[in-house]
Chains A and B, each alone.
Chain A
Amino acid sequence: MKRQPRSHDVNRRDFLKRTAASAAAVTLAAPAIAQNAGGRVVVVGGGFAGATCARTLKRLDPRTSVTLIEASQTFTACPFSNNVIAGLRDLKQQQFDYKKLDADKIVVTFVPAMRVDADARAVILNNGAKLPYDRLVLAPGIDIQWNGLPGYNEAAADRMPHAWKAGDQTLLLRKQLESMNDGGLVVISAPANPFRCPPGPYERASLIAHYLKTRKPKSKLIILDAKDAFSKQGLFLAAWKELYPDLIEWVPLSKGGRVTEVDPKTNTLTTEFGSHRAAVANVIPPQRAARIAETAGVADKTGWCPIDPVTFESKLQQNIHVIGDACIAGGMPKSAFAANSQAKGCAAAIAKLLAGEKPDEPRLINTCYSLVAPDYGISVAGVYEPRGGVLADVKGAGGVSPANAPRSARELEANFANGWFKAITEEVFG
């Protein structure tokens, strides 16, 4: 990797020459340097990670020129999209725009990023535009691994939706549930770790079960799982027993739960132990960091991006930082809360680096709420610090909601889940 001269290095040299010529130049040229000292940051991806990072950077040092590259003018949030699937919420409540980022003087460009030229320190957009950067932040989220499950591809997703990127897929799954006859079989296929939103498949199963129980009570739901353990497992299993007895069946890996092939023509999911013909099939496939990460050379052979736990700078490429679902964040799950927390830590580190200072060690937090029913919430929380080259759990902190809490505590957490969504979306987009 060849280090390219940075524009403000050049400016500084020119400036010093001019300073030598005349003392009066000091007062004239000093603001020009100060204006440039913030440097140029390009952020790719306008989700919880990218939008937070762009805004925090601008707030920490208004001199920094911040450009946000995002393919879509409307952001559709994944948290609470399971409520949309279960008919409890409108998709519009998940959607946000970037007007407030414009107001922050962030240059928001709605053109997809095609590739990153790490040596030239530039992002190349689909329209051919080339954006140079001093520091690049990649917050691109996930891509579905289309070759990760035999039989599953983009065409199959029209019949067997993944609904793991909120939007049309969310509505498709909802529509399929609405048009299913009472007594139908819903099958959810859950992937192996790591993937976006670890408790997500189980919250989805819960809220679909809530829909079935209230609207189509003769129906059944099976979760075919490529794992033997999952996030908040004890709490989910206990709540299912209480709320949805005989409705939800969870089949773990050791009982033959791993889906090895799907057939969209017959809506069939095949495991090592047999096959399930579904009325509605929700295939949550294996995932990886979105493609732009690969073009930048920041994804490793796992498909995800290793990072420095203090600065979020890629371990594979200098001057490129990776945050959110795409990065390997040690103990932190791939969640919106984690992405927002990482983005603020990354912005602080970049502001310091651009100012020639040493970044502080961050302390990050995650909280993930899941709804088992509209008035029944559970959570997992964690606190993280850089340790041993990764973001590690602070010992003694974090954990899940208590097992034997009264129903009033579950109601309170459901209320807090709603409050969290309002707070975080206000911070990121409001």
Chain B
Amino acid sequence: MKRIHCLIALVILVVSTSAASAIDVAPAGAAACSGCHPMSRWAGTPFTRLVGRNAAEIVTAVQEFRSGKREGTVMDRIAKGFNDDEIKAIAAWYAAQKE
């Protein structure tokens, strides 16, 4: 019986780790950006693509929109909804996305 329990534990471990690793949920706010900033290179829009871009560049841009140092149209208003840690997490996630 003990052996069966061990087996069950092993199976559950395998199943749960495989499930967790399969779901790459973007950090809070990141998914919403692609309403304008296209994930696809084919959208043909004036908005900067964030996919694969340098994380530090994204962080600087959003922080400057937030402080007013960089002039924005809507990004100045949207950037104010995120703190530094949130901006860094979003930037890191986009930087890590593959083409």
Contact = CB atoms under 8 A, between A and B. Distances in A.
Interface residues of B, number: 43
B54 interface: no
B31 A416 contact: no
B42 A367 contact: no
B51 to A, nearest CB: 12
A15 B15 CA distance: 12
A155 interface: no
B9 to A, nearest CB: 11
Interface stretch (A81-89, A288-296, A344-352): A344-352
A420 B35 contact: yes
Contact of A424 (B22, B25, B36, B82): B36
Interface residues of A, number: 56
B42 A426 contact: yes
A426 B24 CA distance: 22
Contacts, number: 155
A289 B52 CA distance: 39
Contact of A351 (B7, B11, B25, B43): B25
Interface string B4-15: 100110110011
Given A348-B25, A401-B73, A430-B43, 13 more contacts: A60-B25, A61-B23, A341-B31, A348-B31, A357-B19, A365-B35, A381-B74, A398-B77, A412-B73, A419-B45, A427-B40, A427-B43, A430-B40
Interface of B: 4, 7-8, 10-11, 14-16, 18-20, 22-26, 28-29, 31-40, 42-47, 73-74, 77-82, 86
30 contacts: A19-B8, A30-B11, A60-B23, A60-B25, A344-B34, A348-B31, A351-B23, A352-B25, A357-B19, A360-B25, A363-B81, A363-B86, A364-B29, A365-B29, A365-B35, A379-B73, A381-B77, A383-B29, A394-B81, A396-B81, A397-B80, A397-B82, A398-B78, A399-B77, A420-B35, A420-B36, A420-B47, A423-B37, A424-B35, A426-B40
